[in-house]
Amino acid sequence: MEDNTLTRKTYAGSDCSPVSQRNPLLGLILSLRPKQWTKNLVIFAALVFSQTAGEQTHVKLAVQAFAVFCLLSGAVYLLNDLLDYQQDRKHPIKCSRPIASGLLDRRVASVAFVLIAGISILWASLLTRTFLFAALAYFILQVAYSFKLKHTVILDVFSVAAGFVLRTIAGAEAISVEISSWLVICTMLLALFLALCKRRHEIVLLSAKAVEHRKILSEYNIPFLDQMISVVTTATVLSYALYTMSEDTVHKFHTHRLIFTVPFVLYGIFRYLYLVYRKDQGGSPDTILLTDKSLIADLLLYLVATFCILYRPS
């Protein structure tokens, strides 16, 4: 049973204190983590690489798919915070989350989770049937991750990567285009790269208290993570380079020029590794994407180059 009495006593092992007054609306908005909705931008990958970004109907469907996954992922964040609020209180950053800090009542959060998840699935059913299946698969995976998979070594990071793959597939199903196997592979590898970097950051940030926050971190150490990051980094770059040079890609887009986007991918990965290894960042990829000027510039240049190559006049 929840204790509704809030005090100013500092939680052990953190620098955070519970709030003195609840604010359900603000707490709910923050718990949906709008900043992390940038992860759902991969939904637009199929739109761009199917060369249908200029078709209004496809754009509208892709935007709706993005909105559905923003709500759906927000519901999952609520569930995660409900399950992990005690561990979050021991984390120097996550202790400020609304449920952990007491800004949002757990009972309100529970009702909001059910309502938002229900609305998301209902909205998904109004698009294509295959998109609904992809959305349901994503939701089931995330629930399984929240309860079990995040406590299983290696499967935890693969589950995170699978979530990104399902987003990508959902983006293709929303606009009813065939998804490239290369797009799936590159998405999975890039997501694994980000997930492994996040695990490394957690161990570095929390040090001896890492296990108190996330038990699965006891199964990892820095050398092990560094090896996996090295493997995934190499695989990501090679996969994307091979994709740009493959016969299927050249035949589909009628150009060999997509290979000129490889330097932007390389720079983006190297910049991210620099932030992880030299600046001790990497715990929040969405924050880095929104704040690091070099990465923002690189991403914009990549998008401009890709659009110029794929959508050039015939």
pLDDT, tens digit, 9 for 90 and up, residues 224-254: 999 999 999 999 999 999 999 999 999 989 9
Distance CA 109, CA 122 (A): 20
Q: Is residue 85 scored above 50 in pLDDT?
A: yes
CA quadruple 262, 236, 234, 197: dihedral positive or negative? Answer: positive
Q: Quick count: other Cβ atoms within 10 Å of Cβ 140?
A: 11
pLDDT higher at 294 or 212: 294
Q: Are 47 and 58 in contact (CB under 8 A)?
A: yes
Q: Which residue has the tokens 């001896």?
A: 208
pLDDT higher at 261 or 214: 261
Amino acid at 117: A
pTM of the model: 0.86
Amino acid at 24: P
Q: Are 132 and 124 in contact (CB under 8 A)?
A: yes
Rounded to a whole number, what is the largest CA-CA distance in the chain? 67
pLDDT at 89: 81
The CATH number corresponding to 23-178 among 3.30.450.40, 2.30.40.10, 2.60.120.200, 1.10.357.140 equals 1.10.357.140
